[in-house]
Structure 1
Amino acid sequence: MAFQPWQGGQPAQPASQSPMMRASHAERERAVDVLKAGFAEGRLSQNEYEQRITRAYQAQTYGEIQVLVADLPQGPIGQAQFAPRPMVPPTFLPAPRTNGSATGALVCGILGTMVGVTAIPAVILGHKARGEIRRTGEQGDGMAVAGLVLGYLVIGFLALMVAVVVLAVGASS
């Protein structure tokens, strides 16, 4: 499916798209984005850019929008234009990678409930893991959060116990 170049009024649309179909607000905004990019790249003069933007916001049908963007490299192109990609069974896809710091945070958080001293590494590893996950897109954010929560709970409980002991010793003196 090829688009016809813009020729001052000839509608250009994919064969599967009716030029009389009503245009949506999203399609108008996409066309405006394409026009902005075309102007920024030097493909449209200031006058032509302004005229097309005005016409894009006034467009009522898909055909009117296509006339405005058909000669630009990007346009509202439907997915039907692209050949469907064969589906790969999930068995053959690589398994998503879990962040190692997230696993460490969870383990340290669980151990912290029994030992106590691993609560601080749980918090450190949890914050480190969340930063890495945001940056790399790895799996394991839930484990990192669980490690953080457990670590902070244990630290809070230990701080409360220390405060109770200090107050008890101070009151008995």
Structure 2
Amino acid sequence: MSYPSPWQPWQPWQQAQSSPVMLASHADRERAVDVLRAGFAEGRLQQAEFDRRVARAYEARTVGELSLLVADLPQGPVAIQPAAPPVQAYQAYPPVPRTFLPAPPPPTNGKAVGAMVCGVLTTMTMGVTGIPAVILGHSARAEIRRTGEGGDGFALAGLVLGWLSIAGWAVFLVILFLAAVTSP
């Protein structure tokens, strides 16, 4: 026994062919607006065209009028294409370039990650990892500028935390030195 899908695409052409002058119900108008919203979300309609069609959909009196508003849009989910074409078809057609896909993000620089880890560990190691954080941070930022890798924020975080750790130790040693000099 098969159950009906909870999402049923609206197919106005079936109703319009039988009776294009049949009065449209509120549900018919809402289904037409849903098709328009899906077309707008997919980039098939511009904002002004979408607004105009939605206004006309709510003013439509017949199913035929609604079918004209959505006639150039898909009426439901698009069928899923197979992941890979058959071998014969692949050999017959050249591969399609990936022009519409976003570019993959560049890899993250390992030294930048190391700089951030050392910078975070300065709080747990009482500042011992501050100097490696600064060294790794500077070398990572130079590599990132040269190679175009990602991770500049990690390197910068490691640099800031490392320099804060070094400054904290410098202030602590100055206070310790002043206390040693001024004590009798």
Mark the structure with the bigger radius of gyration. Answer: 2
Question: TM-score, normalising length from structure 2?
Answer: 0.44
Question: TM-score, normalising length from structure 1?
Answer: 0.47
